[in-house]
């Protein structure tokens, strides 16, 4: 039915976090936050949302959120820190290689010049049904947008979840930084609270942010001695690409034995996917090619691939093995 | 021509390079006019539907909306707004706006408004009631008896064709009898699209009763003819300008432009204002034509000594919902299978309508589709014959004097290779690659490193050098400078540069005195920058015009210098006496004495022509450029990833006008071919026909990082290989170098993994499937019904 949706919006430059929150409250949940804008602008231009924002609140005008601070408790990264700055930080490169590799793998230099860590964590999903531009075939109201149907089921789901849906949506989490940061045990700091990052990403929804809440930064605990990590991202082309599957792995060694292991997968589930059964294989073991392979095999425990994405099963097994071997 | 060529053969820089890379070059979308309106199309969400009712009143009432056109009112303004196909075959016209829609994204209505945003807002206010109709997307299904009809007005899903387009040569039964070794296989390919960074853009404006069009158009003269017919106005009252294109590749020959152009011409008329439409990248990817989804079943026979006796084949090309080049697809597809000397042919092709977005030409028409199939197939045959694949190709490839299929032209089914020695080129490229030392036999790897295996492969390709003819106008101005009007566009293929090089040498002027225009009708006629027409038609026409002008200038000089014409020559804007070069007179002085301007027309004809016949066989000549590629790939057998490590690509193109341009075309083709070989291409939902790859995030274009780290080009540049090419015996070669790329990789991947992938592309998913690593069912872990999954 023809109905008028307004695609124009009010634009506010927030000067402080409190001001951003006030604008959020004033717009009664009908606002979007913008930082680098590399995702939101496409979402708006393609008019894919059933309820477009009535207000866009610019966070770039808030001073102090674009710094990387080091303290004895770890690293504090403001939500407005750009990916370029993460990639050029020697501290991150040397102390958090998993995170550094993930940051440098995102998109292209041009996008990394604009995009922020906060935006990368809060990005919308890339499902091609969800993203169908309105200009091509009108509004596509899928399950994630409040409709009744996830079009990926029974459709072309080669890039969708192999671990089932969340809230009926089978789109996957493709935030490179979320995968890497969860592996490192990072926390999200918002205008209200501090939450573990795995609880911040809400599969099938996006983030756990309330309608009056702003992500202000990320805290990463100090690297544990004896830990080694790797980030492996499998893409179609070498740059400017989202992962088909990504793996962040962190292994803590003590006298050559693996004491702790953390393996987080991207591109396989609606949220970052913790491969605990694979981690268990490594614990208390001397890690070598065969343990890595065995852990890789275990990573698909619980998988239920769809018709077109069964190839992700051997793929994720191979990549987990590669990531573990890269930690040695 | 006795004098040494000053410009031809030199790698002079392309004329607008600095302007393009600094953002100064003017493209169609840069043009703004006072009072300009902007148009947006309302598109069909259905793959097949009838429009029961359409209410535009709310949209029309929106502030800033100037006019709305639908199938109900467009015909009130201009009587026969039908979109004719390229070759003006009347049987296949379709309506600019129709009451029945045939694919997702097809135009339903068009809104003209003061801004793009207003027009887009107004789209949501149009109320359309559709009656959904049964639809069919698969061409093989659509061929079956009783199949769903893609269009309720058509009796059949088969695209009409000319009988002569099939290849029926020799005696297939005899070929079957003589054969000792057989090869059979069924192949299919993926769907690439042009994805030019400049999308399609059209501007229409009426000046009294003259229609002025500026468009991203490879074939302005062609659009000119078609617009006049469709609008029912004289051709003389339409003027089309083609600014430089931001890429063409077959995506802007007029099909994607003519429909919006017709609609915009009407909107410009009724609003009295200039109007522009520019497609978004999503529209470009979703709603303009793609390559043909193609499937073919082939059977070949050969003797044990390796000589080929027979090729049988049935090819089905998915034409989509409109035949943009009606009756041509299947014939051209056939001529992609005449690469090898085979006495007996029984080869049929059929284009089939479906409810897919139309298919159409792309670098070159059906070329990459068919060479993927034929070069994979003949590679398999070579293995059955236990021959080195390079040797097989050298031995069997057609060359001078051999019979090939007559691509595009009637009434001849056969033609003759007038020159050319593809086997020589294959040998040159193989030597550069070091094939002899590297080839260890079929399915033998070069190197195994853990899960990564390396091997090599080869494939060939070719394409016709132009069709039909072209005329250009050349004007020598009183100051000695030269204007050349080309009725085709510059899209980066180097036509402008090559033309000015050729004119400079043929006329004897400095290249910087020449300026090339791209517009019509004043520039003459040509089918356009399509089918490798540039050199053999347009540059040839410009050369003929330049030679005519030179002749006239020499005659003027003879009178002035009191010498015979034979004693004179031109150079750098002077006529001089060959034996006494200091005795000379410049063009301006000559022209001043002869009425100031010298205007000539040149006409260039492509081969096949109806004039150039082989005296022995009485068959027409047909020039093609011949190509080969050899590559080394690395396949990760655990992840299915295919990487190209090394490539040597070769071209045989007669004399080279500009080696830089030739190399650019070969490199550009290689990276475009990698995309076709390795990436998903255009994908549609099989149930509802919806586009899945409507952004450059989902439709992957390779970046420079994906280019092979080691790549070389080899050019066989013997003018004798192109005896009938008028422009200094130079063959065009801008489309064909993409044809061999995908099968070259497929053949190398086969040798690496030992399994043939007959259904493209070579994605990780398809490679892992070929390796048997994708289990049909993951029964072990249980397949639970997901929430929201339909039963």
pLDDT for residue B791: 34
CATH number at residue B200: 3.90.1170.50
| Interchain proximity B774–A165, CB inside 8 Å | no
> Could you tell me how many CB contacts below 8 A there are between chain A and chain B?
178
Phi, psi of A34 (to 5 degrees): -130, 135
User: What average pLDDT score do residues B233-250 get?
Assistant: 93
Minimal CA–CA distance to B523: which of B495, B556, B555, B551? B495
pLDDT for residue B90: 47
Question: Mean pLDDT across chain B, nearest whole number?
Answer: 92
Q: How confident is the model at residue B75 (pLDDT cuts 50, 70, 90)?
A: confident
- Asked if the structure places residue B709 within a domain, the reply is no
CB-based contact, A241 to chain B, within 8 Å: yes
User: What average pLDDT score do residues B312-338 get?
Assistant: 90
**Do B494 and B591 belong together in one domain?**
yes
Question: Mean pLDDT across chain A, nearest whole number?
Answer: 96
pLDDT for residue B408: 73
Query: Which B residues 349-368 touch A at CB under 8 Å?
Result: none
pLDDT tens string B205-224: 999 999 999 999 998 887 88
pLDDT at B2 over 60: no
Q: Helix B422-433 crosses helix B389-396 at what angle (to 10 degrees)?
A: 160
Name the DSSP letter for residue A73. Answer: T
Name the DSSP letter for residue B208. Answer: T
pLDDT for residue A267: 98
Query: Which B residues 53-112 touch A at CB under 8 Å?
Result: 55, 58-59, 104-105
| Interchain proximity B790–A305, CB inside 8 Å | no
CB-based contact, B341 to chain A, within 8 Å: no
**Do B496 and B581 belong together in one domain?**
yes
Show Cβ contacts of residue B361 under 8 Å, excluding neighbours closer than 6 positions. B250, B253, B289, B324, B325, B530, B531
CB-based contact, B685 to chain A, within 8 Å: yes
pLDDT at B778 over 70: no
Span of A250-254, A267-271, B613-617 with lowest mean pLDDT: B613-617
In this structure, are residues B746 and B762 in contact, taking their beta carbons and an 8 Å threshold?
Answer: yes
Q: How confident is the model at residue B400 (pLDDT cuts 50, 70, 90)?
A: very high
In this structure, are residues A270 and A203 in contact, taking their beta carbons and an 8 Å threshold?
Answer: yes
- Cα nearest neighbour of B288 on chain A: A136
Burial class of A54 by CB neighbour count within 10 A (0 to 12, 13 to 18, 19+): middle
**Do B282 and B316 belong together in one domain?**
no
The rounded distance, in Å, linking the Cα atoms of A314 and B637 is 10
- Asked if the structure places residue B6 within a domain, the reply is no
pLDDT for residue B593: 76
Q: Which of B256, B287, B318 is the last residue of a domain?
A: B287
In this structure, are residues A299 and A277 in contact, taking their beta carbons and an 8 Å threshold?
Answer: yes
**Do B282 and B214 belong together in one domain?**
yes
**Chain A residues with beta carbon closer than 8 angstroms to that of B680:** 158, 236
pLDDT tens string B465-483: 988 788 899 999 999 999 9
SS3 string of B158-198?
ECCCCHHHCEEECCHHHHHHHCCEEEEEEEECCECCCCCCC
Q: How confident is the model at residue B609 (pLDDT cuts 50, 70, 90)?
A: low
**Do B273 and B184 belong together in one domain?**
no
CB-based contact, B473 to chain A, within 8 Å: no
The rounded distance, in Å, linking the Cα atoms of B1 and B215 is 39
pLDDT tens string B83-106: 655 554 444 567 889 999 999 999
- Asked if the structure places residue B39 within a domain, the reply is yes
pLDDT for residue B40: 98
- Asked if the structure places residue B670 within a domain, the reply is no
**Do B127 and B145 belong together in one domain?**
no
In this structure, are residues B323 and B85 in contact, taking their beta carbons and an 8 Å threshold?
Answer: yes
pLDDT at A6 over 90: no
The rounded distance, in Å, linking the Cα atoms of A63 and B126 is 45
Q: How confident is the model at residue A312 (pLDDT cuts 50, 70, 90)?
A: very high
The rounded distance, in Å, linking the Cα atoms of B17 and A67 is 41
- Asked if the structure places residue B634 within a domain, the reply is no
pLDDT at B552 over 90: yes
Q: Looking at CA atoms only, how far is residue A262 from chain B in angstroms?
A: 22
pLDDT at B611 over 70: no
3-state secondary structure of A195: strand
Q: Which of B387, B413, B442 is the last residue of a domain?
A: B387
pLDDT at B608 over 60: no
pLDDT for residue B790: 39
Half-sphere exposure of B224 (CA within 13 A, CB side): 29
- Asked if the structure places residue B552 within a domain, the reply is yes
SS3 string of B458-503?
EEEEEEECCCCEEEEEEEECCCCCEEEEECCCCCCCCHHHHHHHHH
pLDDT tens string B703-725: 999 999 999 999 999 999 999 89
Show Cβ contacts of residue B491 under 8 Å, excluding neighbours closer than 6 positions. B218, B244, B245, B246, B247, B248, B249, B252, B529
pLDDT for residue B525: 76
pLDDT at A171 over 80: yes
**Chain A residues with beta carbon closer than 8 angstroms to that of B53:** none
The rounded distance, in Å, linking the Cα atoms of A240 and A255 is 40
**Chain B residues with beta carbon closer than 8 angstroms to that of A310:** 774-776, 778
**Chain B residues with beta carbon closer than 8 angstroms to that of A315:** 638-640, 764, 768
The rounded distance, in Å, linking the Cα atoms of B181 and B386 is 11
**Do B481 and B552 belong together in one domain?**
yes
**Do B201 and B74 belong together in one domain?**
yes
| Interchain proximity B639–A7, CB inside 8 Å | no
pLDDT at B662 over 70: yes
The rounded distance, in Å, linking the Cα atoms of B699 and B6 is 44
In this structure, are residues B571 and B644 in contact, taking their beta carbons and an 8 Å threshold?
Answer: no
| Interchain proximity A136–B283, CB inside 8 Å | yes
CB-based contact, B19 to chain A, within 8 Å: no
The rounded distance, in Å, linking the Cα atoms of B599 and A199 is 77
CB-based contact, A239 to chain B, within 8 Å: yes
Q: Looking at CA atoms only, how far is residue B709 from chain A in angstroms?
A: 13
Cis bond before residue B521 (omega within 30° of 0): yes
User: What average pLDDT score do residues B436-463 get?
Assistant: 97
| Interchain proximity B685–A241, CB inside 8 Å | no
The rounded distance, in Å, linking the Cα atoms of A62 and A34 is 12
Q: How confident is the model at residue B3 (pLDDT cuts 50, 70, 90)?
A: low
**Chain B residues with beta carbon closer than 8 angstroms to that of A318:** 451, 636, 638-639
Q: What percent of chain B has pLDDT over 90?
A: 79
Q: Helix B540-561 crosses helix B495-507 at what angle (to 10 degrees)?
A: 20
User: What average pLDDT score do residues B771-779 get?
Assistant: 77
| Interchain proximity B789–A46, CB inside 8 Å | no
The rounded distance, in Å, linking the Cα atoms of B700 and B722 is 37
Minimal CA–CA distance to B225: which of B86, B50, B411, B402? B86
CB-based contact, A146 to chain B, within 8 Å: no
Per DSSP, the residues of A282-306 read: HTTEE--HHHHHHHHHHTTTT----
In this structure, the strands spanning B514-520 and B482-486 are parallel
User: What average pLDDT score do residues A192-206 get?
Assistant: 97
**Do B295 and B279 belong together in one domain?**
no
Q: Looking at CA atoms only, how far is residue B319 from chain A in angstroms?
A: 20
Query: Which A residues 164-193 touch B at CB under 8 Å?
Result: 164-165, 167-170
Partner-chain residue, chosen from B40, B45, B768, that has the shortest CB–CB distance to A314: B768
pLDDT for residue B80: 61
Span of A33-47, A71-85, B93-107 with lowest mean pLDDT: B93-107
Test the A interface: residue of B137, B692, B784 with most A CBs within 10 Å:
B692
pLDDT for residue B79: 63
Q: What percent of chain A has pLDDT over 70?
A: 99
The rounded distance, in Å, linking the Cα atoms of A322 and A262 is 14
Span of A127-141, B81-95, B161-175 with lowest mean pLDDT: B81-95
Show Cβ contacts of residue A157 under 8 Å, excluding neighbours closer than 6 positions. A170, A306, A307, A308, A309
Q: What percent of chain B has pLDDT over 70?
A: 94
| Interchain proximity B639–A319, CB inside 8 Å | yes
Q: Whole-structure pTM over 0.90, yes or no?
A: yes
**Do B129 and B250 belong together in one domain?**
yes
- Asked if the structure places residue B53 within a domain, the reply is yes
**Do B300 and B325 belong together in one domain?**
yes
pLDDT tens string B408-417: 766 668 899 9
Q: Which of B605, B638, B667 is the last residue of a domain?
A: B605
pLDDT tens string B487-546: 888 999 999 999 999 999 999 999 999 999 887 767 677 778 888 988 888 999 999 999
Q: What is the largest CA-CA distance in chain A?
A: 69
User: What average pLDDT score do residues A237-254 get?
Assistant: 97
**Do B165 and B214 belong together in one domain?**
no
pLDDT tens string B735-745: 999 999 999 99
Q: Looking at CA atoms only, how far is residue B740 from chain A in angstroms?
A: 21
Its domain, for residue B354, covers: 135-189+291-387
Partner-chain residue, chosen from B43, B123, B705, that has the shortest CB–CB distance to A239: B705
Number of folded domains that form chain B: 3
- Asked if the structure places residue B258 within a domain, the reply is yes
Query: Which B residues 598-657 touch A at CB under 8 Å?
Result: 636, 638-641
pLDDT for residue B440: 96
Name the DSSP letter for residue B93. Answer: -
Q: Where does residue B250 fall: left (phi above 0), alpha (psi -120 to 50 degrees), or beta otherwise?
A: left
CATH number at residue B579: 3.30.365.10
List strand residue ranges (DSSP E) for chain A, in order: 10-13, 31-34, 55-58, 68-71, 74-78, 187-190, 194-196, 201-202, 206-207, 215-220, 227-234, 245-254, 257-266, 273-274, 285-286
**Chain A residues with beta carbon closer than 8 angstroms to that of B639:** 234, 314-315, 318-319
pLDDT for residue B787: 42
């Amino acid at each position: 039915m023809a109905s008028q949706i307004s695609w124009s919006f009010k634009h506010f430059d927030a000067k402080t976090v409190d001001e951003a929150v006030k604008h959020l409250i004033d717009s009664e949940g009908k606002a979007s936050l913008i930082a680098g804008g590399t995702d939101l602008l496409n979402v708006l231009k393609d008019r894919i949302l059933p309820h477009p924002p009535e207000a866009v609140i610019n966070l770039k005008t808030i001073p102090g959120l674009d710094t990387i601070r080091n303290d004895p408790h770890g690293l504090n990264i403001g939500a407005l820190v750009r990916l370029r700055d993460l990639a050029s930080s020697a501290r991150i490169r040397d102390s958090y290689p998993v995170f550094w590799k993930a940051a440098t793998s995102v998109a292209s230099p041009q996008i990394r010049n604009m995009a922020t860590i906060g935006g990368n964590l809060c990005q919308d999903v890339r499902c091609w049904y969800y993203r169908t531009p309105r200009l091509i075939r009108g509004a596509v109201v899928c399950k994630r947008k409040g409709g009744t149907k996830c079009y990926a089921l029974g459709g072309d789901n080669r890039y969708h979840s192999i671990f089932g849906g969340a809230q009926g949506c089978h789109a996957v989490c493709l935030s490179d930084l979320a995968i890497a940061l969860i592996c490192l045990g990072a926390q999200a700091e918002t205008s209200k609270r501090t939450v573990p990052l795995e609880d911040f990403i809400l599969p099938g929804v996006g983030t756990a942010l309330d309608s009056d809440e702003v992500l202000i930064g990320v805290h990463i605990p100090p690297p544990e001695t004896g830990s080694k990590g790797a980030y492996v991202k499998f893409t179609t082309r070498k740059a400017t690409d989202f992962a088909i599957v990504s793996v962040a792995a962190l292994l803590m060694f003590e006298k050559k034995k693996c004491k702790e292991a953390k393996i987080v997968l991207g591109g396989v589930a609606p949220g970052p996917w913790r491969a605990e059964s694979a981690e268990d294989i490594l614990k208390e073991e001397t890690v070598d090619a065969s343990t890595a392979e065995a852990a890789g095999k275990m990573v698909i425990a619980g998988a239920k691939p769809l018709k077109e994405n069964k190839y992700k099963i051997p793929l994720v097994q191979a990549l987990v093995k590669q990531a573990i071997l890269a930690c040695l | 021509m006795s004098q040494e060529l000053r410009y031809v053969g030199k790698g002079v820089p392309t004329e607008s390079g600095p302007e393009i890379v600094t953002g100064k070059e003017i493209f169609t979308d840069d043009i703004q006019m006072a009072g300009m309106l902007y148009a947006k199309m309302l598109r069909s969400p259905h793959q097949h539907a009838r429009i029961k009712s359409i209410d535009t009143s709310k949209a029309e009432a929106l502030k800033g909306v100037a006019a709305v056109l639908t199938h109900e009112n467009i015909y009130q303004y201009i009587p026969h707004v039908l979109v004719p196909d390229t070759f003006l075959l009347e049987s296949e016209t379709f309506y600019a706006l129709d009451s029945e829609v045939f694919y997702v994204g097809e135009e339903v209505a068009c809104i003209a408004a003061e801004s793009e945003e207003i027009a887009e807002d107004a789209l949501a206010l149009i109320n359309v009631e559709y009656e959904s109709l049964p639809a069919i997307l698969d061409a093989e299904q659509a061929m079956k008896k009783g199949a769903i009809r893609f269009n309720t007005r058509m009796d059949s899903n088969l695209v009409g064709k000319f009988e002569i387009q099939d290849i029926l040569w020799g005696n297939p039964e005899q070929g079957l009898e003589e054969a000792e070794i057989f090869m059979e296989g069924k192949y299919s390919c993926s769907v690439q699209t042009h994805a030019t960074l400049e999308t399609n853009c059209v501007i229409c404006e009426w000046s009294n009763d003259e229609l002025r069009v500026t468009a991203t158009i490879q074939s302005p003269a062609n659009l000119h003819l078609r617009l006049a017919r469709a609008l029912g106005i004289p051709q003389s009252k339409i003027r089309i300008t083609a600014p430089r294109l931001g890429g063409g590749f077959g995506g802007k020959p007029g099909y994607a432009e003519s429909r919006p152009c017709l609609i915009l011409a009407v909107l410009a008329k009724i609003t009295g204002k200039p109007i522009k439409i520019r497609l978004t990248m999503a529209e470009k990817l979703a709603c303009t034509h793609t390559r043909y989804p193609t499937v073919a079943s082939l059977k070949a026979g050969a003797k044990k000594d390796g000589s080929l006796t027979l090729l049988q084949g049935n090819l089905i090309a998915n034409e989509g919902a409109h035949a943009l080049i009606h009756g041509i697809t299947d014939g051209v597809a056939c001529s992609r299978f005449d690469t090898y000397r085979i006495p007996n042919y029984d080869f049929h092709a059929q284009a089939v309508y479906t409810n897919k977005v139309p298919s159409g030409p792309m670098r070159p028409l059906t070329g990459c589709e068919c060479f993927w199939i034929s070069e994979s197939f003949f590679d398999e045959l070579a293995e059955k014959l236990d021959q080195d694949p390079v040797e097989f190709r050298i031995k069997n490839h057609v060359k001078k004097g051999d019979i090939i299929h007559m691509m595009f032209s009637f009434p001849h089914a056969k033609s003759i290779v007038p020159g050319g020695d593809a086997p020589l080129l294959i040998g040159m490229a193989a030597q550069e690659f070091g094939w002899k030392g590297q080839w260890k036999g079929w399915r033998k790897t070069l190197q195994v490193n853990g899960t990564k295996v390396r091997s090599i492969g080869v494939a060939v390709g070719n394409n016709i050098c132009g069709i039909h003819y072209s005329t250009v106008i050349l004007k020598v101005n009183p100051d000695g400078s030269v204007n050349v009007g080309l009725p085709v566009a510059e899209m980066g293929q180097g036509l402008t540069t090559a033309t000015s090089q050729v004119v400079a040498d043929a006329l004897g002027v400095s290249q910087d005195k020449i300026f090339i225009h791209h517009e019509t009708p004043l520039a003459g006629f040509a089918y356009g920058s399509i089918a490798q027409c540039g050199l053999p038609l347009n540059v040839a026409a410009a050369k003929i015009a330049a030679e005519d002008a030179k002749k006239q200038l020499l005659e003027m000089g003879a009178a002035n210098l009191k010498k015979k014409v034979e004693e004179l020559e031109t150079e750098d804007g002077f006529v001089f006496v060959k034996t006494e070069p200091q005795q000379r007179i410049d063009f301006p002085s000559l022209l001043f004495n002869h009425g100031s301007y010298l205007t000539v027309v040149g006409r260039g004809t492509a081969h096949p022509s109806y004039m150039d016949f082989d005296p022995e066989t009485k068959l027409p000549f047909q020039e093609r450029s011949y190509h080969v590629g050899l590559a080394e790939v690395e396949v990760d057998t655990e992840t299915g990833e295919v990487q190209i490590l090394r490539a040597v690509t070769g071209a045989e193109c007669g004399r080279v006008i500009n080696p830089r341009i030739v190399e650019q075309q070969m490199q550009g083709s290689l990276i475009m071919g990698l995309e076709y070989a390795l990436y998903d291409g255009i994908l549609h939902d099989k149930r509802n026909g919806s586009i899945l790859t409507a952004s450059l995030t989902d439709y992957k274009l390779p970046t420079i990082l994906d280019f092979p780290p080691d790549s070389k080009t080899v050019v066989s540049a013997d003018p004798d290989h192109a005896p009938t090419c008028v422009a200094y015996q130079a063959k065009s070669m801008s489309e064909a170098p993409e044809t061999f790329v995908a099968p070259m990789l497929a053949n190398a991947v086969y040798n690496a993994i030992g399994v043939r992938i007959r259904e493209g592309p070579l994605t990780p998913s398809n490679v892992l499937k070929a390796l048997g690593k994708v289990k049909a069912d993951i029964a072990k872990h249980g397949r639970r019904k997901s929430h929201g999954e339909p039963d």
